[in-house]
Amino acid sequence: MVNDSPRYWASRLKNGLQTLLIMGSLALVLAVPGYLLAGSFGVMVSLGVVVIGAFAGSWVPARYILAEAGAGLLDRDQAPALYRLLDTLYRRAGISASPQLFYVPSPELNAFAVGSRHDGGIAVTEGLLRTLTLRELAGVLAHEVSHLRHGDTRVMSMAAAMTRLTLWLTTVLQISLLLMVPMILSGELRLPWSLLLVVAFAPSISTLLQLTLSRNREYSADLDAVALTGDPEGLASALAVLERYHGRWLATLFGRHPPRGLNWLRTHPPTEERIRRLREVDESPRTPVHDDHQEHAHRPATIIERPSSMGRRYWMRRRR
């Protein structure tokens, strides 16, 4: 069961409407170069390619991501505490599939969901396991479970496909413009200003919309994670740790206060805003998920044995 407070459902509705609006805007931006190239047929073909590519890309890239990251599958006896957490989170999220946890031997602090709610999993890095406490890790895992629950990997795959296809179509338009230069110079054709505007702005608009969608889904996953864990402070604490780590490169480039305009170019919302929203969430009536491990809640998770990488051949043979 999820949090049934009015604020929770109002926020879910707001985020859902924003997602629909952004996806519609991405489709509109894509339709313009498609129409200029081949009329209504170009629009239909473009959107059809996006749908087919998104459904294919929602599962094929996951295998390659795991292979390139050198991931290995953690068995239950290797990480019993984490699997107990995931069992609880999956049950609360209404996901019937068995949890799968992948281990990435990287010092980076990162976690990501792969696949869908039916056969997906969550990958965590060595750096994350060593840095976060079990309570903080519960919030991060709940965030990734929310991505699986709501099909965010497929939504973002479709948005990425729209952005890539928009870039490809505008590239074709650029080539067409170059071929028309002699005719324009000789006066046989007028300069197509509408075409120039599409070529100039469509890729940038599509990219910014994709980044906005990503930030929207992160806000939504934060909210849903709190509904699953009953512990907004756990995720807020984890985000603060991640911000201290990931914010170092910006501080190196721009000093202690990076330009605020960079927020438009981020895939994730500003951490301060995420934490503020989390701390405004009404306390959930459910028991915090970390209470089942209270004696270990403020220590890192125990991994009995680190798995070795399964290699590219394994991920090519099997989806998981």
What length does the chain have?
A: 320
Whether 144 is catalytic is yes
Query: 129 φ, ψ to 5°?
Result: -65, -35
On whether the CB atoms of residues 264 and 209 are closer than 8 A, the answer is no
Cα 166 from Cα 30, distance rounded (Å): 5
CA distances from 166 to 20, 48, 49, 187 (A): 19, 13, 11, 30
Angle at 39 between CA 35 and CA 41, to 5 degrees: 105
Cα 270 from Cα 254, distance rounded (Å): 16
Question: Which residue among the candidates 68, 108, 126, 144 is catalytic per the annotation?
Answer: 144
Indicate the angle between helix axes 60-68 and 6-57, nearest 10 degrees: 90
Which residues participate in catalysis according to the annotation? 144
